[in-house]
Chain A
């Protein structure tokens, strides 16, 4: 269990610390993430940029088949991401909601490349977001977005449908050099032609300790404990994979996308139905608001959110039965107007120092090699935090419920729609 207080030094809050360090020491290292291949259009950077990415870019072989993207920075970069998924400072940081100008890393990107970034917390649910851009993708029209962040299962579909722009690897030397080995060679885009991971995370249980205590309910340690809390005070996730995966774990079924059967999914649905009858709801990232308004006492949540954007009594627990692991990925939707700028952004966030800055706020697992070391330098209190550095015990009980057969997915969607009243 992660206690909020454990990772904040009394008197100097993490965010306050970050604001200070972001402003002071930032300029020096940021030049490093520019990459050397950005060409003439890149604003002249300091001497530091020459040394750092040299190693990275040396290993890059530009893929011949990629039509060279004009290396001109254009903007504004339209960037759609999930809530609580970027570093925030000041008032926005306290409220946990992005406002223009509130993210130190984005501000630095803007300054460095002299381009505007229109960052929006637009994605609370993979399907709900993709359905908004699908008509454009099907019609071969621009979606209006240059960079989107989607979970494995959805990202794989986007790539399979040919709806993602091919990344010019020459423009993303940091990504090539720094992507963690465990994330390389995904089944759906083995050579990272179309995606680079944004963050990995886990799905587990979140709860409000104070409300539970006031109502004499024991803090949940396992998924099954949620069945003992009044159902109208509980929410599950509208990402059907997350909800069903955890319920399968509760039922003692191995939540592995490859071995799951439709019968098991049926069982899970039958297990959830009584809760729905009792008032259970399904939400996307809006559970953060529900926690804020004390509307929900316990819920299925994603690992970093409550630590970054929840209240002091909101806690995350790795359930005894296990957690689900997933990765959200950056993709450039087909027809993006500012593809080169999107690649610059990918490259930028793969600089270990920028990655550390993100991590120190959002509390997810970084895909960037070397971010760990930078993070410990930036904020020593993060060391040993299992949200950022999952312990062997947690890792042993991680399950991947992302890849489902078409048939299983159909069954899953249908069962979920029935539960959700749709």
Chain B
């Protein structure tokens, strides 16, 4: 559209754009993203906030009362589920990091020509639906499933009533499994970028392999750790499928409560308040985390 005249065509594109639209150019370029954000984030968030300070139901309609009752209920009654979310989300993040780092490290430094194949294998489970994968764990971890049945009836190392399914262990395992690729991929990208000559230089300067790892590889991998833990922790914290399928009523997370309030109890005010608290909590947590690790260094 900028190349409307023959003279314009010969000129470089940038200045022409600027000449025609002036200072609006950056905003125009940002427009698609901004419109998307406004439509699908800002407006729903505002709407959710108005629900949270209203009373009423879907049938009777909502009246804005500007009361904070919903927030009081949310914090008062569902503290346990918030704590569960933080605990299980945190544990899942820790385990994905513990499992994912060696994997990413191996792919980046030892993968050789199999790099792409291994990366593909990491993502391959995603070709199956999230739900199916989680439901499959119900079968795998079942009381008489392929894991426990041999331990119970062949090796006799477990008592007959032992179970993993519908405990916190199964739930954290499910979260860890489901979010593992979200940890491995950013870690891989960060590790892959590391210039091997830096590690060689460290060794030349009398660092043993451990020190080289600690002083060179690890700090350079931190952006990956940061991105990976955010990508894991945030969705894991809000997840409700794993708790629903693999947990029990005592291990419910905040996502379960939100789902239940909005979809089953038709309690939009409390459901919205809970969502808002969760969102605010995550924002604060991310801010603290970024500050602690130093954003400049991480994103730069």
A positions within 8 Å CB-CB of B: 127-128, 131-132, 134-135, 138, 161, 214-215, 230, 232-233, 276-277, 279-282, 293-295, 413, 417, 419-422
Contact = CB atoms under 8 A, between A and B. Distances in A.
Interface string B130-145: 0000000011001111
A277 B251 CA distance: 10
B248 A279 contact: yes
B248 to A, nearest CB: 5
Contacts of A138: 58-59
Contacts of B264: 127-128, 131, 422
B163 interface: yes
B87 to A, nearest CB: 14
A381 to B, nearest CB: 30
B187 to A, nearest CB: 34
B221 interface: no
Contacts, number: 75
B161 A419 contact: no
Nearest to B262: A131
Contacts of B167: 232, 279
B249 A134 contact: no
Contacts of B160: 214-215
11 contacts: A128-B263, A128-B264, A131-B264, A232-B166, A293-B139, A295-B143, A421-B248, A421-B250, A421-B256, A421-B257, A422-B264
A61 B144 CA distance: 58
Name, among A215, A280, A420, A421, the residue most crowded by chain B CB atoms within 10 Å (CB to CB).
A421
Interface of B: 58-59, 81, 138-139, 142-145, 160-161, 163, 165-167, 248-252, 256-257, 260-261, 263-266
Contact of B142 (A132, A135, A276, A293): A293
A282 B248 CA distance: 9
A161 B59 contact: yes
A132 B263 CA distance: 7
Name, among B138, B167, B251, the residue most crowded by chain A CB atoms within 10 Å (CB to CB).
B138
A131 B250 contact: no
B265 A232 contact: no
A63 B248 CA distance: 51
Contacts of A419: 249
Contacts of A294: 142-144
Nearest to A281: B248
Contact of B81 (A161, A413, A421): A421
B163 A232 contact: yes
A79 to B, nearest CB: 23
Contacts of B260: 417, 420, 422
Nearest to A161: B59
B266 A131 contact: yes
Name, among B81, B160, B261, B266, the residue most crowded by chain A CB atoms within 10 Å (CB to CB).
B266
A132 B167 CA distance: 28
Given A276-B250, A279-B248, A422-B261, A295 B142 contact: yes
Name, among A138, A282, A422, the residue most crowded by chain B CB atoms within 10 Å (CB to CB).
A422
A131 B262 CA distance: 9
A230 B261 CA distance: 30
A280 B166 CA distance: 9
B148 to A, nearest CB: 10
